[in-house]
Every structure is written in structure tokens, then in C-alpha cells.
Amino acid sequence: MEAPQTIGELYDLAHSRKTGEDKKVTLDYAKVSDVLANRIQRELHLDVHGFVHRIDEQYIRHADDGHDAVGEWREDQIPITRSDYEALEHLVNEPDEIAIIGKTRQNLPVLQLKKRVNGHLIILEVFHGGKRSRYLNFLTMYKRRIRPQKGEAS
């Protein structure tokens, strides 16, 4: 099989294979924009200049196990879809909010990026690739309904 060239193709591959089948397939889908890198450095004190956003099929399956149409269980959440994945480049480089929300077992910082889109809040979690790695790696994604604030239309 030829390597996926788009997130949509990687999404389809993730849904056509079982965990552990063949080897893990990754996709570098966007460069970390200078605007985002500057913001992360200013607000979170992490240097991610020159980094690349990376996603792999196993994390797509992981996110979908808890946040797709079958696995979703929280009242305020709605299922993530293929089109949410296809919008990742826009979401990751233009978030409304960013924060460090914890660390991985390897003591790497986990960043949370939030973006309001069409009455929903898409929350994406990524982890810093470590000292030698120049990646922000996709960890999970979920989507919540946003209640209109005072003065906003429903």
C-alpha cells in the first residue's frame, strides 16, 4: 500500500486496519507556523520553531474509540468526523486558546489547543516530541457544543 498523502487518506487507512496491523503509519501534515511558534514561546515558554505537526493512524483510532459516533458518551460532546481531521492544519495553527495541561509518561509536555468552529469547540491535545524530535504529535481530539454567551445568537 502506498503511504497516505493527506489526513483524509490516513483517516481511511486507520479505519480499514486493526491496531498493530503492519507498522504504524504517520503523516507530517503541516509545519508549525511562525505565528503559533512565537505564541507558544511567549505564553508557554516552549520553543517549537521549525517543528512539524505529525499524526499517526493509531492515535486516530484512539481518539475515535472515545469520541466518534459510536464511542461518544459525554452529554456535551458530539462525535468527531473525518472532516474534523481534514481541518487539522487550520485548527493547529490558528487556535483560540493554548495551554500546557500535563505531561506524558516520558515527561514531555502535553499542549491543549482549542478552536471555536461553527458553534462547536474543538479541543486537540498534542505532545512535544522531546529533545531530539522536532514534532508536535497528535494525541487526541474531541468536540463540544458551545452554549451561546450573552448577546450571541444561538
Question: Can you give the three-state secondary structure of the chain, one letter per residue?
Answer: CCCCCCHHHHHHHHHHCCCCCCCCCEEEEEECCHHHHHHHHHHHCCCCCCCEEEEEHHHHHHHHHHHCCCCCCCCCEECCCHHHHHCHHHHHHCCCEEEEEEECCCCCEEEEEEEEECCEEEEEEEEECCCCCCEEEEEEEEEEECCCCCCCCC
Inside any domain, residue 152:
no
**3 vs 153, which has greater pLDDT?**
3
Asked whether the predicted pLDDT for residue 68 surpasses 60, the reply is: no
Inside any domain, residue 153:
no
Inside any domain, residue 18:
yes
Digit-coded pLDDT (tens) for 44-58: 999 999 999 999 888
Digit-coded pLDDT (tens) for 7-45: 999 999 888 876 666 677 899 999 999 999 999 999 999
Domain that holds residue 81: 7-145
Inside any domain, residue 150:
no
Q: What is the pTM of this model?
A: 0.83
pLDDT of the residue at 46? 93
Please provide residue 151's backbone torsions phi and psi, each rounded to the nearest 5 degrees: 90, -10
pLDDT of the residue at 151? 58
pLDDT of the residue at 70? 52
Number of domains forming the structure of the chain: 1
Inside any domain, residue 82:
yes
Rounded distance, CA 65 to CA 57, Å?
12
What is the pLDDT confidence band of residue 64, given thresholds at 50, 70 and 90?
confident
Inside any domain, residue 119:
yes
Q: Which three cell numbers stand for residue 148?
A: 451561546
Inside any domain, residue 151:
no
Digit-coded pLDDT (tens) for 85-137: 999 988 899 999 999 999 988 888 999 999 998 888 898 889 887 778 899 99
Q: Are 140 and 112 in contact (CB under 8 A)?
A: no
Inside any domain, residue 64:
yes
Q: Are 91 and 113 in contact (CB under 8 A)?
A: yes
pLDDT of the residue at 94? 92
